[in-house]
Structure 1
Amino acid sequence: MIVVTGATGGLGGATVEHLLKRVPADQIGVSVRDAAKAQHLADRGVRVRQGSYEDPATLRDSFTGADQVLLVSGNDPAADMVGLHRNAVEAAVAAGTRRILYTSQQSAVPDNPYRPSDIHTATEAILGASGVAWTALRNGAYGPLDQLLGPWQRTGVIAQPQDGPVPYTDRADVAEATAVVLAGDRSFDGPVTFTAPTAVTFDDFAKIASELTGSTVERIVLDDEQWVADQLAIGVPEQAARLMLSWYQAARAGYFAEADPVLAELLGREPRTAADRLAAHVDG
C-alpha cells in the first residue's frame, strides 16, 4: 500500500489523483487531519485514516500496512517542523514502512540562505539515520506566479528585489512525477530534484510578459530594506517579509540556478515552463 499525507492539500491531493490513474484505489491510503474532508477519496475506494504530525499514535495507525509513505512537508513558521517531521518519520518506521518519500526543496543544503532549507536539510538527515530506504523529492519553486511577480498586470512593472535564475516549476507536473515514482515506475535513493527545464529571472519574466501582452512590462530592482518596508506598509508581517527576502537572497546567490532533466524523464514529456505558466495566467 502507498500512503500519502496531506492528501487534502494542493500537492498531496494532486498526487493522489495521479496515483488513482496508475494503481488500484484499494492500494492507496491517505493520512489526513480531517477525514471528512477526504470523503471524496473514500467514496472512490481509497483508505482514509485520521493522522496528524502532532499525534504520532494516529500516524502509526494511518501508516499501518504501508510499503511506501509520502510525507508532505509542513510549512507552519510558528511550529517546530523538524520535530513534527521526526514524528512522522519515526511513525513510518514503527509501522514497518519499506520506503519513506519526503517533499523537500531544490538546493536543500546547509548554507542556503533561504530559511526553510534548514528544515529540509534537518529532515533529510533524520531520514538518512532512520534505517529505512528514503527519497527526498527536492522540488523546484512552484508557488503561484501572481504572488511571485506582484500586480504587474495593473502596474506594468515587476518591482521586486534583485533575484537570480530559478527553474519555476508547475505543481501539477511535480504531483504527476511524484505519483510516477510512488507507482514504482522508477525509484531513487536519497535526494532527487524536480524542476522545469529552464531557469529564468525577473528580467526574463518582464520580456515574456511584454511579448504576451503587447505592452512594455518594466523590471524594477528594489533595495532589500525598501522592499521589506513596502511589504510592511501593505500589512505583510515582518517575519513573512524577511522569510521571502531570504529566498531572493538565495536566488541571487545562484542556489536555484540549475535545472534538472529528471522531471521531464519521469513525465515522458517536457514540463511546463515559466513562459507556459505565465501565458496561462494572462489568458485566464
Structure 2
Amino acid sequence: MMKYTITGATGHLGSQITKQLHQLVPADQINLGVHTPAKAQHFADLGMTLHAIDYADEASLITALQNSDVFIYVPSKSHDSYSRVTELEHVIAAAEQAHVQKMVAMGFVADQTDNPFTLSAFYGYLPRRLAETDLDYVILRNVLYADPLVPYLPELIERGNIIYPVGHHAMSFISLADSAEAFAKVATTPALFRRKKSYTLSQSRDYTMPQLAEVLSKVSGHHIGYAPVTNAEFEQLYDQNHEGKMLASMYAGGAMGLLDDLSDDFEQITGHPAQTMTAFLTKQWQQKGL
C-alpha cells in the first residue's frame, strides 16, 4: 500500500492538494504534516493520519515522513529566501533519513538569476539543491495564483483600476484547484514521475494588465482600467502582514517580463486544459453572490 505525505496541508495549496489526492487514493494512505493538527481535524475525520511538524525540527519531519513512498513538499509561508532555504535543508535531511522514495516539490516561475523577487533565490536554489541529493524528485513550478483576484475584486471596483506596477508586461496565472489537481496526478502516476523533471503549471494564455482589467470588468460588470502605482507605493499599501516588500519585489520581476511563463504541461499531466481566467473568475464571483 502506497503512503503519501503532504506538508503544509492546512494552507491554501496544501489543503487543495489533499482534497485532490483523496479523490485518487484512499484516506488511510494519506499522511499530513501540519503545524497545528486542530486545523486539520476535518481531514483526520476522513481517516487521514496527522503529524505535528515544525520545519525547524528535523525529528518531527523524520517522524512524519517515515515509510513515505511519495512526499509532496509545500513550503511554509515565509517571506525571505534565507528562511526558506534553511527550511529546505531540514526537509532534505529528514527526507533522506526517512528514506523517502519520491518527492514532489512546489516551485515558482520567479526563479531567474536576475529576478528581484525576495523569494527568487530560494526557488532558484530548490532545483540545484535537490539535484545534489539522491532523492527521486519532480518539481512543479506554479505561475501566479488566480484565486486572490476574487477577494481583491471589490477593491479594484472601488478604485476603478488595477494598480500592479508591472507596466506593459504580461503575467500568467493558474487556479489553486488546477495546480492541486496536477500535483495529485503527478504524485500518483508513475509515467509522469521522471527523475529531475520540472513541469510549469499555467493557463493557456497570459495577460497584460489592460487585458486583465478587461476580463475583470466583464466578470464584475464594472469598468476597471489600469493605473499602476510605484513599487514603493504598492509595498506601503499592502504591508498589513509584513508582506509588502515581498509582493512589491514580485511585481518588480513582473515589470521585467519575468512572470509570464506559459506551458501546456498542465494539459499533458491532466488530459484537459486549465480553466480559463474568465471561466474561473465568473464562477467564483457568482458563488459569492455578487
| Deviation for aligned residue 1:188 | 3.5
Query: Where do residues 79-94 of structure 1 align in structure 2 (5 Å cutoff)?
Result: 80-94=83-97
Aligned residues: 280
User: CA 1:144–1:95 in 2, change beyond 3 Å: closer, same or farther?
Assistant: same
Pick one of 194, 197, 205 that aligns with 2:201.
194
Post-superposition shift, 1:58?
A: 0.8
Cα deviation code 1:164-217 (max 9, x no counterpart): 212211001001110001112521433221111111121111222333345432
Structure 2, gaps ≥5 residues long: none
1:182 aligns with 2:182: no
RMSD: 2.3
- Preserved CA contact (<8 Å) 2:4 2:71: yes
Counterparts of 1:153-164 in structure 2, within 5 Å, are 153-163=157-167, 164=169
d(CA) in 2 for partners of 1:113, 1:149: 27
Flag as ranges the 4+ runs of structure 1 deviating above 6 A. Answer: 147-150
Q: Please state how far the C-alpha of 1:51 moved relative to its aligned partner.
A: 1.7
Task: Quote the offset at 1:139 in angstroms.
Answer: 0.7
Identity of aligned residues (%): 24
Aligned to 1:71: 73
Mapped to 2, the partners of 1:49 and 1:210 lie a distance apart of: 44
**Alignment partners' CA distance in 1, 2:142 and 2:50:** 26
Deviations 1:9-39 (A, max 9, x none): 2211111111111112222211112223322
Write the distance in 2 (CA, Å) between the matches of 1:37 and 1:214: 37
Question: What SS is found at the alignment partner of 1:74?
Answer: coil
In structure 2, what is the equivalent of residue 97 of structure 1?
A: 100
Determine which of 224, 232, 241 is the counterpart of 2:231: 224
Q: Distance in 2 between matches of 1:172 and 1:21?
A: 13
**1:112 corresponding residue in structure 2:** 115
Q: Is the aligned partner of 1:265 residue 2:268?
A: yes
What's the counterpart of residue 212 of structure 1? 219
Whether contact under 8 Å (1:107, 1:138) holds in the other structure is: no
Asked whether the equivalents of residues 106 and 194 of structure 1 are also in contact (C-alpha less than 8 Å), the reply is: no
Distance of 1:66 and 1:102 partners within structure 2? 14
TM-superposed deviation, 1:151: 1.5
Deviations 1:129-151 (A, max 9, x none): 12111111111111501466672
Separation of aligned partners in 2, 1:96 and 1:170: 32
State how far apart, in whole Å, the 2-side matches of 1:215 and 1:35 are. Answer: 42
Which amino acid is the alignment partner of residue 47 of structure 1? T
Match of 1:3 in 2: 5
Q: What SS does the corresponding residue of 2:31 show, helix, strand or coil?
A: strand
Q: Structure 1: how far apart are the matches of 2:52 and 2:22?
A: 20
Cα shift at 1:63: 0.5
In structure 2, distance between residues paired with 1:248 and 1:21: 35
Residue 12 (1) aligns with residue 17 (2): no
Equivalent residues of 2:79, 2:118 under 8 A apart: no
Give the counterpart of 1:122 among 115, 121, 125.
Answer: 125
What is the alpha-carbon distance in structure 1 between the residues aligned to residue 222 and residue 4 of structure 2? 49
Contact preservation (8 Å) 2:70, 2:187: yes
Give secondary structure in 2 for the equivalent of 1:52. coil
Retained in 2: the 8 A contact 1:73–1:104?
no
Q: Is 1:167 the equivalent of 2:169?
A: no
For residues 55-108 of structure 1, the C-alpha deviation after alignment (integer angstroms, 9 at most, x for no partner) is 100110110100111111122126722111110111011100111221110242
TM-score for both structures, normalised by structure 1: 0.89
TM-score (norm 2): 0.87
SS of aligned partner of 1:54 = coil
Amino acid at match of 2:143: G
Aligned-pair distance for 1:235?
6.9
